[in-house]
A and B are shown apart, each in its own frame.
Chain A
Amino acid sequence: MSVPRVWQRFTLAERIARAILYVCVVIAVVWSIRTIEVIPEFLYDAPEQTADLFSRMWPFDWAFYPKAIHAALIETFHIATLGTLIAIVLALPLSFLAARNFVSNPLLNFVAQFIFVASRSVNSLIWALLFVAIFGPGALSGVLSIAFRSIGFVGKLFGEALEEAQVGPIEALTAAGAPRSMLLVKGYWPQVEPAFWSIALLRWDINIRESAVLGLVGAGGIGVALDAAMNNLYWDQVGLILAVIFAVVIVTEIVTSSIRSRIL
């Protein structure tokens, strides 16, 4: 009688690779826990500190809203929206360069990809540091840092959408003698338009969130008010600002999801 065959879901190589990965995860976590510097003395009074923090935040300083928060909130909104628009304008041509089916030049593809990676690797707060050093504090630095951080995101995703476009309509237009610009407008654009809007909305949603913290380094918006309130230890104002940010983010999410379900 033959030995009953043992069935395995994964091949031996797959199982070894997974086992190595599990070991690596354990090593990384253990190494991090053993060597990270945590000051235990700070932890003893953490519950009291947290309770103290919330008791200082409540009740909110409602009078502060019309004084400083409202204008800063509007500025934050404009920074996020304008930054997203500039990012889209700058990223669209680059994503055409990055799409290998539209531009068949490896060097140009690589240059565009490199710009996307550089843009995405640097966080928007760090972009804001650089722009505040160049253009000084204010909304201009905020808009530019949002825009430069978003170029990589929008460009990468839109470039991938372009690469997935069907060749059928393009070939049909080419056969009819359409110029290259019409290939773009009537061949590619209708195919990638849903992807374009969903990418733009997603990034706008993220940017509303990110623009709220840019003010911590002086790049305008509600973060400036937050920074000032924290430095003055006016926790009732901090609490109000956090509540306002929370409300704005929730409203943005509702708006983007309703637009998305309507146009897509």
Chain B
Amino acid sequence: MSVTRARPPAFPVNWPSRLAWIGLALYTLYATSILDLTWQRFVVGLGNGAKFLSRMFPPNLAADKLALISDGMIESIQIAVLATFFGVLLSLPLGLAAARNLAPGWLSWSARGLIAVFRSFHPVIVSILFVKAVGFGALAGILALIVSTMGFVAKLFAEVVEEMSPKPVEAVRATGANFLNLLVMAVMPQVTARFVGLSVYQLDSNLRNSTMVGIVGGGGIGAPLFTAYQRFDYDVVLTILIAIILLILLAEMVSGRIRRIFL
């Protein structure tokens, strides 16, 4: 007589993970009730949505609106270009100062602290502060985006520098080179490609954000967008949204091309 033994299941049940999923589901229900997200509100909203869409179409292509929009878009592009350029320039020393394998401890920790402050505020909040400091207009937007550029590029650049191979650095140091020579001959050749990649990514991201700083007075297309929205000119809003999406698609194509040249 053969003994039948229960075969262990091929895939044992993972109870901690199941509990976590159940917890997540319970949280969803709890948060939904706290935020007062009811199905009824959603359905009422859908009716509004149909009205909203019907007022959006067709997009407003009147000549005076188009002139206004193209001015705003050009200003947004300028904000993004300048913020990326100066932000990236400033990120180079900041990133090097934050790299623990090149900079002394006190310098890298203070640079890291600065980067953490820069990173933690949304560009829109930073531009509120700059609008108060330097007044309405493109300059406030540029300064705000420089801050967010430094927060992102310097942080990742420091990580790239920390990951590089120490051998060329030691070889150059052994020849008695000074620190500047060390940077130019040993560090930069290893990290330039990654640095350009980061900068190009940040250009994309700055273009997206430069369309938004205008909502709080930082210049660019955001101001006409917000004005059109508050005046219920939803057809103009749609035209601006189409322009923004086209700009972003174009920027993604350009940045893909740049990345292919450098990587």
Bound pair: A and B? yes
Contact partners of B215 in chain A: CB under 8 A = 125, 216-217
Query: Are B81 and A29 in contact (CB-based, < 8 A)?
Result: yes
* Minimum CB distance partner of A206 in chain B: B122
Contact between B35 and A85, CB atoms less than 8 A apart: no
Give Cα A79 to B37, complex, Å: 11
Given that A29-B81, A32-B81, A78-B31 are contacting pairs, would A37 and B134 also be in contact in the complex, using a CB cutoff of 8 Å? Answer: no
| A47: nearest chain-B partner, CB-CB | B133
Contact A25 B85 (CB under 8 A): yes
Residues of A within 8 A of B91 (CB): none
Number of A-B contacts (CB under 8 A): 156
Question: Which B residues, 206 to 246, have Cβ-Cβ distances below 8 Å to chain A?
Answer: 208-209, 211-212, 215-216, 225-226, 229, 234, 237, 241, 244-245
Query: Any chain A CB within 8 A of the CB of B121?
Result: yes
Nearest A-chain residue to B246, judged by Cβ: A121
Collect the chain B residues with CB atoms within 8 Å of residue A85's CB: 24, 28
Please measure, in the bound complex, the distance between the C-alpha atom of A249 and the C-alpha atom of B118, giving whole angstroms: 11
Chain A, interface SS category: helix
How many A residues, CB 8 Å from partner? 62
One of A31, A143, A210, A249 near B35 (C-beta < 8 A):
A143
The reply to whether B27 and A246 form a contact with Cβ atoms under 8 Å apart is no
What 0/1 pattern do residues 139 to 158 of A give for CB contact below 8 A with B? 11001000000000000000
Interface size class of B (residues with CB under 8 A): 35 or more
Q: Is the Cβ of A246 less than 8 Å from the Cβ of B212?
A: no
CB of B34 closer than 8 Å to a CB of A: yes
A92 lies within 8 A of chain B by Cβ: no
Query: Please, which residues of chain B bring their CB within 8 A of the CB of A216?
Result: 124, 215-216
Q: Say yes or no: A242 contacts B27, CB within 8 Å.
A: no
CB A80 to nearest CB in B, in angstroms, measures 10
B 115-141 contacts with A by CB, 8 A: 116-117, 120-122, 124-125, 128-129, 132-139
Q: A245: which of B42, B125, B137 is its contact (CB, 8 Å)?
A: B125
Rounded to whole Å, the gap between the CB of A258 and the closest CB of chain B is: 16
**A209 x B122 contact (CB < 8 A):** yes
Judged by a CB distance under 8 angstroms, whether A123 is at the interface is yes
Contact flag A21-B258 (CB < 8 Å), given A39-B135, A78-B35, A121-B248: yes
B45 touches A14 (CB 8 A): no
What residues on A are CB-neighbors of B32 within 8 Å?
Answer: 82
Judging by beta carbons under 8 Å apart, are A133 and B229 in contact? yes
Provide the residues of chain B in CB contact with A242, threshold 8 Å. 121, 125
- B138 surroundings in chain A (CB, below 8 A): 36-38
A216 to B142, CA, bound (A): 20
Which chain A residue shows the least CB distance to B32?
A82
B181 within 8 A of A: no
- Residues on the B chain within 8 Å of A143, using CB: 35, 37
Give Cα distance in the complex from A134 to B47, angstroms.
Answer: 8
Q: Within the complex, which residue of A14, A46, A140 is in contact with B261, where a contact is CB–CB below 8 Å?
A: A14
B48 an interface residue at 8 Å Cβ cutoff?
yes
- A118 interface residue (CB < 8 Å to B): yes
**Closest 8 interchain pairs by CB?**
A42-B135, A135-B45, A249-B120, A32-B78, A121-B248, A139-B35, A134-B49, A50-B133
Besides A36-B82, A46-B133, 10 more A-B contacts (Cβ < 8 Å) are A35-B74, A78-B31, A79-B35, A117-B249, A118-B245, A134-B48, A134-B49, A135-B49, A217-B215, A249-B120
Q: Give 17 A-B contacts (CB < 8 Å), ordered by A residue.
A: A31-B78, A36-B82, A38-B137, A38-B138, A38-B139, A49-B133, A78-B34, A82-B37, A117-B249, A125-B215, A126-B241, A129-B226, A134-B52, A140-B41, A213-B124, A245-B125, A250-B116
**Which B residues lie at the A interface, using CB under 8 A?**
11, 24, 27-28, 31-32, 34-37, 41-42, 45-46, 48-49, 52, 74-75, 77-79, 81-82, 85, 116-117, 120-122, 124-125, 128-129, 132-139, 142, 208-209, 211-212, 215-216, 225-226, 229, 234, 237, 241, 244-245, 248-249, 258, 261-262
The interface of chain A, by Cβ under 8 A from chain B, is: 14, 17-18, 21, 25, 28-29, 31-33, 35-39, 42-43, 46, 49-50, 53, 74-75, 78-79, 81-82, 85, 117-118, 120-123, 125-126, 129-130, 133-136, 138-140, 143, 186, 209-210, 212-213, 216-217, 220, 226, 230, 242, 245-246, 249-250, 253
